[in-house]
Structure 1
Amino acid sequence: MRLPPIPPQDLTGDQRRLYETLQAGIAKQFGGFQTARADGALLGPFNPWLHEPEIGQAVWDLTEAVSKRGALTDAARQVAILVTGSRFKAAYELYAHVQVALEKGLKEDKVATIVAGQRPSDLTAEEAAVFDAASNLNAGGVLPRPVYDRVVAAFGAGGVSELIHLVGLYAMVCITLNGFDVPVPEQQVDPAP
């Protein structure tokens, strides 16, 4: 871990404003995984964002904008996020979104196969379209037209736009996590009381 989590009492004014925004958004959008230490210091990508609040606020605004779209099903969103986390081998991202994917109804073996970097054989047609699109986007290059068309057929033009932005957002989150060597919560030590 290259950036120490910031205890709430040590936050600057800009950091405090972002911290409060993040806490409210986390409570609304993310459950089932640890996002803070016992002392309230944020973990995961939230900590690097607090270290650079101007960047952090911009990334959070993008996160909220992409999250509000709603064209993709919950399962499809999680497939795309897990494909991206697996591509970048981002430990915290996989830790968090495995939990979210299970909560959203994806079966454990399907999640495990995606996290292993493989394509499950039991994907629904919608999940398969998203898996293939996210895999192609993460590999680089132009998204092939037949893959693009399958996502449009499944979710409409708004859905393919949401998917492309979602994959780009989570690629950035994964790069942030990997660049700052952000571990899963179990690998972080809470400060002594």
Structure 2
Amino acid sequence: MAIQSRLGALAEDQMDDAQRAVLKEILSGPRGNLDGPFLAWIHSPELANHAQRLGAFCRYSTRLELRLTELAILFTAAWWQSQAEWQIHEPIARKAGVSDTVIEALRQQAAPDFEREDESLVYRVGKALYVNRRVDDALYAEAIEAFGEPAVVELIGVLGYYALVAMTLNVFAVRRDADAPLPFVEP
């Protein structure tokens, strides 16, 4: 699928050794492509190297079920109105079991009517963090009880990492499918 952005094109023969090394690691990993923020980050190989490793952990290796990780990612994409982040993760979230009604509510930036308590909890933690920049004691205790400390630490990491992804995609106007309608109205 064609990716477009406001960044200048960067062909492999124009890359320095550090960029080629990061490119090779990204392409040989579970992603297998230079999709999303990597199109921008490859311009800074040190950032790309660290960010892609953190991203691989946040996406593929947390203690959270994929459904919950993808819910956190979609919530973040909707919060930041990140077109490409939504376009990339909406089908993954749906396949992982996030319901159509939850997905559509998130896209419309409305509070979803959750059927599953664990999804409601991920949403409430994300909303508290983004709105209040804190999670109060009661919600924190509820999250720890439901997921355990390591998974809550990882959930906060997922929310933070995908906020970085959203900012990168928004600043560099990365678009995944130029022919598809955008999920969010551009500000």
Query: Normalising to structure 2: TM-score of the pair?
Result: 0.85
- The yes-or-no answer on 1:106 pairing with 2:110 is no
Alignment partner, residue 17 of structure 1: 21
Structure 1: 5+ residue stretches without partners: 36-41, 188-193
Amino acid corresponding to residue 12 of structure 1 in structure 2? D
> Cα 1:2–1:82, aligned 2, differ >3 Å: closer, same or farther?
same
Alignment partner, residue 144 of structure 1: 136
Amino acid corresponding to residue 93 of structure 1 in structure 2? E
Indicate which of 93, 117, 121 corresponds to 2:113: 121
- The yes-or-no answer on 1:164 pairing with 2:156 is yes
How far residue 123 of structure 1 moved from its aligned partner, in angstroms, is: 3.6
**What is the percent sequence identity of the aligned residues?**
25
- The yes-or-no answer on 1:184 pairing with 2:182 is no
> What do the CA deviations read for 1:30-87 (whole angstroms, capped 9, x no partner)?
8xxxx5xxxxxx3420111111111111111221333454321111111111111101
> Cα 1:21–1:140, aligned 2, differ >3 Å: closer, same or farther?
farther
> What do the CA deviations read for 1:120-146 (whole angstroms, capped 9, x no partner)?
213411111001101111224211222
> Cα 1:68–1:100, aligned 2, differ >3 Å: closer, same or farther?
closer
Alignment partner, residue 94 of structure 1: 86
Distance 1:167 1:142 in 2: 13
Alignment partner, residue 10 of structure 2: 6
Indicate which of 56, 62, 67 corresponds to 1:64: 56
Amino acid corresponding to residue 89 of structure 2 in structure 1? H
> Cα 1:5–1:45, aligned 2, differ >3 Å: closer, same or farther?
farther
How far residue 186 of structure 1 moved from its aligned partner, in angstroms, is: 2.3
Query: Normalising to structure 1: TM-score of the pair?
Result: 0.83
Distance 1:147 1:125 in 2: 13
Amino acid corresponding to residue 18 of structure 1 in structure 2? V
In the alignment of these two chains, the number of paired residues is 176
The alignment partner of 2:175 has SS state of coil
Q: CA RMSD in A?
A: 2.0
Alignment of 1:30-69 (within 5 A): 35=33, 42-67=34-59, 69=61
- The yes-or-no answer on 1:130 pairing with 2:122 is yes
The alignment partner of 1:92 has SS state of helix
Which deviates the most, 177-186 or 166-175? 177-186
Tell me: higher relative CO, structure 1 or 2? Use CA pairs within 8 A at least 6 residues apart: 2
Which deviates the most, 62-71 or 171-180? 62-71
Distance 1:176 1:153 in 2: 34
The alignment partner of 1:110 has SS state of helix
Indicate which of 54, 67, 74 corresponds to 1:75: 67
